[in-house]
Amino acid sequence: MTLTQALLGFTSIAFLITIIPATDTALVLRSLVAGGHRSAYACVFGITAGLLIWGVTAATGLAVLMAAAPLVFDLITVAGGLYLIYLGIKFMLNLRHWGQVTTLKTEQAALASLPAPAASLPGPGGGVSTPASAKPGATTPAPANFRKDFLAGFIANILNPKIAVFYIASVPPFMVASVQPFLMGTLLAAIHGGINVLWFTLIISLAALAMRWLLHPRATLVIDGIAGSVLLVFGVLILVEAAHRLL
């Protein structure tokens, strides 16, 4: 197999794996709603960093050794499942605020029905200034925490046994004898990472078109609930698979 054939073959597989909605998609969308574009891209870069590590690990044979040691692989699987369950529960707990959102909407409706004040404060340009807190029906993303969102994406990816299995199965067949394993693994992972960044840039851009709706308090809670449910289900399934192997 030539280098060109290897790169084209791996690119095709990596693209198909990337566009399948999974935990990564749920995490990125949730980060976008919670912290805006900066948070979403921090999560994407964390996921991509995890891919680079798995690519190098698989190419140098370390991943194969891990797979040959069932206990090590099972520990990674259990840790990954528990982390996804933790994130899922954390996001779903935000649904406790649903009643508070309903109360807020009722209060906003009551305020809107009151007569307009006789005078308003002039804005910077001479117009009427409306306080941001008086504008109903929308919230603003919390300040982005790059490190937190990066680590969330990185940990979720590096502890994902599905990614480990993908690299263990996909990287060795595309190794080229004329290229050092470390360099080839890095190149393949970089291709996967590039596809990952481009795909999620598209997802983030499309989601940004609906940000006015997504930033509505109830919509934010719905996304938390959906993302939490997806992560929770994936986490439980991962633990079930690990339990079958251990038992």
Mean pLDDT (10-residue bins), the chain, 247 residues: 88 86 84 88 95 84 66 77 85 74 46 48 48 47 76 90 79 82 87 94 84 66 79 85 79
Distance CA 51, CA 46 (A): 9
> How many CB atoms are closer than 10 A to CB 180?
12
Record the pTM: 0.66
Element (H, E) at 20: none
